[in-house]
Amino acid sequence: MSSREACVAADQTDPLRPFRDLFDLPPGVIYLDGNSLGALPKAAVERAASVVTVEWGRDLIGSWNTHDWFALPTRIGDKIAQLIGGTPGSCVATDTTSINVFKALAAALGIQREDAPARRVIVSEQENFPSDLYIIEGIIGMLGHPDGRPYELRLIDDEHPLADALDDDVAVVLLTGVNYRTGAWWDMDATTAEIHAAGALAVWDLCHSIGAVPVDVTAADADFAVGCTYKYLNGGPGSPAFVWVSPKHAARAKQPLSGWWGHARPFEMAVGYDPAPGAASFLVGTQPIVSLATMEVGIDIALSADGQQLRSKSLALTDLFIELVETRLAGHPLTLITPRAHADRGSHVSFLHPEGYAVMQALIARGVIGDYREPHVLRFGITPLYLGFADVWDAVESLRTVLDEELWRAPEFQVRGAVT
């Protein structure tokens, strides 16, 4: 699109346009950070107030039954399963992504210890989100040196691709569906098949995938999947994550955090642990009820949207963002690191700039909220539910002003906060 008028016209015919009215977006703000924290659904405010004042305040402990609090993790988990191509009972909403990575990875390694005990390698990406790698390191430290042979982490990158890493010593591969920094998107079906052909199990981190790109864990024949709900699902700050367990592993998948909520009969208060069937055994302790109940609003919105329309609009918006930056800001040192090919691209766009942090702070000060990632990465999340084509045009124009006028040089934009 070569003009703002064309962008406005495209917004007028956008079938997803009504969804924007479901969110409480501050006036004068273009929000391009939904890949870090989604916007506030208007109905979430009323839902949270009801949970606090009515369910907790008035009905007190009776709400475990009268408002069915105890079923929240599994009921919401079933809704999340619909978004990722899972079946009822295969997914639960619980804990954080990092904790669920630990549980899923431990369960996958447990299966491999029974089936292929000589396999001691965990493969992941050099560019993976660091927390996933830290969890792997922690598990390796806990496992020690059984039979004198340690477990190890093998990292892949552009120079050392997955195919070269899949030797007969690999037990599990942990990959992130969409890279948090670049927006590169793995072909889940083909990659999982490649992992299985090598005798390994596949664990997928879907944090930047769910609600952003098409996901079908069943069609991909994945083994385990985890992800968060506060990004494209708009669940709210720190809203519980999820873990999905393939039904083919449900009877054998044992995670080590055997808490009371994951017991088959939790209120018998039995001395010994008897795991609940399926993904329910991946529940551990008492859940954050207010956050769980509130995040269901965003999940319901995602379920009501047409997935193909979301993907088509995401690609159109990211195409437009890339085109406008490269044509209207051509004289500036911006380097695209997001794949151009649709089949390889998630729903955010990232550019390198040598003064990336200061540039982003100056842009935020002008009401265009993206985010920054080391090293030098300007990251722009494209959320089709509440972003339009005119938003993209205006955001790029603001970026052009920041760069043309060198507004980023102001001293206040050089100071880094605790969260960058």
Give the residue ranges of the annotated binding site for pyridoxal 5'-phosphate: 97-98, 129-132, 176, 205, 208, 230, 260, 286
Residue 205 is a catalytic residue: yes
Please pick, among 103, 181, 231, 345, the residue that the annotation labels catalytic. 231
Give the annotated binding-site residues. 97-98, 129-132, 176, 205, 208, 230, 260, 286
Q: Put residue 54 in one of left, alpha, beta given phi > 0 → left and psi -120 to 50 → alpha.
A: alpha
Q: What's the Cα-to-Cα distance from 365 to each of 180, 372, 407, rounded to whole Å?
A: 24, 14, 10
**C-alpha span between 310 and 383 (Å, rounded):** 9
**C-alpha span between 31 and 382 (Å, rounded):** 9
How, if at all, do strands 368-369 and 30-31 pair? parallel
Q: Are 141 and 97 in contact (CB under 8 A)?
A: no
Residue 180 is a catalytic residue: no
**C-alpha span between 156 and 145 (Å, rounded):** 23
Nearest one of 382, 379, 215, 210 to 298, comparing CA atoms? 210
3-state secondary structure of 269: coil
| 175 phi/psi in degrees, rounded to 5 | -125, 155
Instruction: Order the strands of the 371-373 sheet from edge to edge.
Output: 335-336, 348-352, 377-381, 371-373
How, if at all, do strands 377-381 and 371-373 pair? antiparallel
**Which residues sit opposite 174 in a β-bridge?**
203
Tokens (6 digits) for 159: 């120079």
- The residues near 84 (Cβ < 8 Å, ≥ 6 apart) are 91, 206, 210, 215, 216, 217, 225, 227, 244
Residue 386 is a catalytic residue: no
**Which residues sit opposite 129 in a β-bridge?**
none
Please pick, among 169, 205, 223, 391, the residue that the annotation labels catalytic. 205
Please pick, among 23, 31, 102, 129, the residue that the annotation labels catalytic. 129
List active site positions.
129, 205, 230-231, 379
